[in-house]
Amino acid sequence: MVHVRQSKAIKNITKKKYLMHTTLIIPAYNEENNINNTLSKVIKIVDRVILVDNCSEDKTILNAQKYDVIILKHKVNIGKSNSMKTGCELAIKLGTDLIAFMDADGQHEPSDLEKLINEIKTKKNLDMVVGVRNYLKMPITRLIGTKILSLVTNIFYQSEMKDIQSGLRVFNSKIYNDIIWDSTGSSHYFADAEITTIALSKKIPFSTIPIETIFNDKFKGMDIFQGLRLVLHLIFWRIIK
């Protein structure tokens, strides 16, 4: 179940829908310390923001209500992957042209989001742009994991990807059904990687852009066991997709 908070952003949809082109989807869970800073900057960059709250237990929604954004609230925690789908389904229903994903925890610079949007708008043959984080600024454990995942991906998908899990990306809404992901669950973050591998398998035209690397929370992200599961998923996806 999803509860939609009525805001100026959603009340004005009918009047503004032909003027809106880019929708940013931000999945969030207990981000009261970061959501203000994130929303205050991104609302100046995109036409519409959809915040999908995954049953937060803090003041995430209360803080988000200060901004002209659409807020969707899951009544149970169904994970980031499904939150991304919730946001996409509404964005497409509202007739958006471009869909962007960005994490709520402040690890992405809004200026980088703007770069990705400009890239896909100016390059007519692109359907997706993915931000690639700087290896040199990653904590050592994240660096090792990212390199291993990239190596496996490049071997099995014959690619040159450096960051398959980046949460910052923009894509044309028309390819949503082509990149729809199966990843689910509340304890992992596999959807970003799966979207990347689907794009590689289906040869969807996309490019990558270097972005800043910011880690505000050292305790978030995958542990070694989830990393191993993702490696197995990368191989499995290659076989079935």
Query: CATH code at 14?
Result: 3.90.550.10
Q: Tens digits of per-residue pLDDT, 36-92?
A: 999 999 999 999 999 999 999 999 999 999 999 999 999 889 889 999 999 999 999
Q: Is 155 within a domain?
A: no
Q: CB-based burial of residue 65 (10 Å sphere; 0-12 exposed, 13-18 middle, 19+ buried)?
A: middle
Q: Is 115 within a domain?
A: yes
Domain count, the chain: 1
The boundaries of the domain holding residue 205 are 2-134+166-216
Its sign, for the CA torsion 52, 3, 82, 9, is: negative
Q: Spell out the residues 6+ positions from residue 71 whose beta carbon is closer than 8 angstroms to its own.
A: 4, 5, 7, 51, 53, 61, 64, 65
Q: Is 10 within a domain?
A: yes
d(CA 98, CA 90): 13
Structure tokens at 198: 């689907």
pLDDT above 60: residue 218? no
Q: Tens digits of per-residue pLDDT, 172-193?
A: 999 999 999 998 765 567 999 9
CB 101 within 8 A of CB 167: yes
